[in-house]
Amino acid sequence: MLPEPELFARCPLPGCSRFTDVQGQPCDDCRKAFGEMIAHTPGGAPLTAADQAARDAETLAAYSGHTAIIAAAVDQTGDDADEGVTRSNQLCWLCDQRRRCTRVDGRWECRDCATVV
Ligand SMILES: [Zn+2]
Ligand SMILES: [Zn+2]
């Protein structure tokens, strides 16, 4: 399914998310930055909003797939590898002090805070 075209045209240059006056034409900033280099339009037809959205959807899907893979990898190594470890000079999430803290539920807790219920 294609994403809804947006209400306002966005600059068609990949990586630029600024609005543009005319659908399929680069925004003023990109024009200024790239000048002649972006004057060429293959086939003479500017991208339609739907084409542009479809193109970007592929890229975004690829990115989010990549992010999911990385997230899964991080899950496996486990952020909890530190769980129960005690280390000095950690920022306690409860009292905001740098102290000797123990890793509890993915956060550093100093001994004083750990004993307060
Ligand atoms: Zn732009
Ligand atoms: Zn503390």
Distance, CA 47 to ligand 1 centroid (Å)?
14
- Token reading at 106: 């993915």
Based on the structure, what is the number of domains in the chain? Answer: 2
Q: Is residue 70 located within the same domain as residue 87?
A: no
Q: Is residue 62 located within the same domain as residue 99?
A: no
Alpha-carbon torsion angle 79, 84, 90, 91, nearest 10: 80
Distance, CA 27 to ligand 1 centroid (Å)?
4
Inter-CA distances, 7 with 38, 74, 101, Å? 24, 37, 51
Distance, CA 27 to ligand 2 centroid (Å)?
51
Q: Is residue 72 located within the same domain as residue 84?
A: no
Q: Is residue 27 located within the same domain as residue 73?
A: yes
Around ion ligand 2, which residues have CB less than 5 A away? 92, 94-95, 110, 113
Q: Is residue 18 located within the same domain as residue 65?
A: yes
Q: Is residue 40 located within the same domain as residue 89?
A: no
> Strand 107-110 relative to strand 86-91: parallel, antiparallel, unpaired?
unpaired
Range of the domain at 109: 80-115
Q: What is the pLDDT of residues 12-51, one digit of tens each?
A: 888 888 998 888 888 889 888 887 776 656 566 777 888 8
50 touches 7 (CB < 8 A): no
Q: What is the pLDDT of residues 56-98, one digit of tens each?
A: 888 888 888 888 877 777 665 555 677 889 999 999 999 999 9
pLDDT category of residue 99 using cuts at 50, 70 and 90:
very high
Q: Is residue 49 located within the same domain as residue 94?
A: no
